[in-house]
Amino acid sequence: MRVDQESSSSHRDAEASTSTSKDPGRTEEAGADILPKEMNEMTISDDKVDGHNDKIIVTSIGGQNGKPKQVSYMAERVVGTGSFGVVFQAKCLETGETVAIKKVLQDKRYKNRELQTMQLLDHPNVVQLKHHFFSTTERGEVYLNLVLEYVSETVYRVAKYYNRMNQRVPILHVKLYAYQMCRALAYIHRVVGVCHRDIKPQNLLVNPHTHQLKLCDFGSAKKLPLFPGESGVDQLVEIIKILGTPTREEIRCMNPNYSEFKFPQIKAHPWHKLFGKRMPPEAVDLVSRLLQYSPNLRCTAVDACAHPFFDELRDPKTCLSNGRSLPPLFDFSAAELEGLPVELVHRIIPEHMRK
């Protein structure tokens, strides 16, 4: 077994970032309102970590009185790969805690934007950055290792499971996931001033026991304001198929510098035909408010949290299917509520949860 010493860097027990799902059937408590047992058959990857399957990673983090404390991680398996690098599941040998470690090649000429962003974040719906360190290969390549909170499931895998079973995701779970996503976005937009730029089901992590959702993967994040106009043509065509061809005014609102108007002329697809009769009308209304070309007409994330579609979550009688309480939804910090109109705060936070 190889033991590699990794060079330590400054760290922060802050909150944020990424981890990928594995072992969905593991139960923490009897009677927990967990995802179906059949999800045990849905594995992402059983591959051993390439080059890490028998590797212990040793690094140092700040301990008590500023003295460094040694921490060792046993790399167990790959849980995600991409152009960014690799994410693998690991176990802290000192505490037994399972973590996700995202390993990315570090360009020596630049600071890592993802690390800088994640060090700013502290929110219950954003995954936690525990600390980070750098490692160097024999060829002199420097890698940044982000040690992250491990969350075992994603909205993508949850939806995929129900689709395979020819079932719909329970509407209460849809509300829980959508609300927590909007709350996370409201936080990073209003409090931190960051745009995620890669919201997708794979980047929405879910605790299968509590149904708490956490936003992850800030590799594409940028500080606001942003200048739009860099999206792919194919993606834009798919959007036009649903929303119809944007008008010149809508294009101007999205990007005042864009002067080309060579789009196929397509009528908007009616929302009720897209979703079908079984979709609650409040859900259709929320989607129609979020998917607007013009930013001025688009519903903000914090306004979305106050939408009637989420009123069931504000009902003190609402609970999970087994009677357990919902995950924390209304523990807003002063920074999250700063500058919001009183009436909006009252719409978001139910009376029984106000201090």
Residue that wins the pLDDT comparison between 196 and 81: 196
Instruction: Kindly report the CATH class assigned to 153-353.
Output: mainly alpha
- For 190, the token pair is 């209003």
C-alpha to C-alpha distance for 270 and 174, rounded to whole angstroms: 22
> Which homologous superfamily is 2-149 in?
Phosphorylase Kinase; domain 1 (3.30.200.20)
The mean pLDDT of 22-46, rounded to a whole number, is 39
Instruction: Considering the candidates 23, 198, 285, 311, report the single residue annotated as catalytic.
Output: 198
What's the pLDDT at 187? 97
For residue 94, the tally of other CB atoms under 10 A from its CB is 11
Cα–Cα distance list, 25 to 162, 202, 264, 309 (Å) = 15, 18, 47, 30
Query: Which pLDDT band, with edges at 50, 70 and 90, does 311 fall under?
Result: very high
Closest CA to 176 of 147, 194, 153: 153
What's the pLDDT at 80? 84
Closest CA to 118 of 142, 95, 144: 144
- For 333, the token pair is 């910090």
Report the alpha-carbon angle 127-132-134, nearest 5: 145
Containing H/E element for 283?
A: helix 281-290
Q: What is the pLDDT of residues 231-255, one digit of tens each?
A: 556 777 788 888 999 888 888 888 8
Q: What is the pLDDT of residues 133-181, one digit of tens each?
A: 888 888 888 899 999 999 999 999 999 999 999 999 999 999 999 999 9
Residue 102, annotated as binding a ligand: no
What's the pLDDT at 247? 86
pTM of the model: 0.79
C-alpha to C-alpha distance for 11 and 268, rounded to whole angstroms: 49
Cα–Cα distance list, 5 to 58, 90, 91 (Å) = 5, 16, 16
For the ranges 7-21, 79-93, 187-201, 285-299, the lowest mean pLDDT is seen at 7-21
C-alpha to C-alpha distance for 214 and 176, rounded to whole angstroms: 11
Q: Please indicate whether the domains covering 2-149 and 153-353 agree at the CATH topology level.
A: no
pLDDT(52) > 80: no
Cβ(187)–Cβ(215) below 8 Å = no
What's the pLDDT at 16? 32
* Catalytic residue list contains 198: yes
User: What residue spans define the domains of the chain?
Assistant: 2-149, 153-353
Cβ(308)–Cβ(350) below 8 Å = no
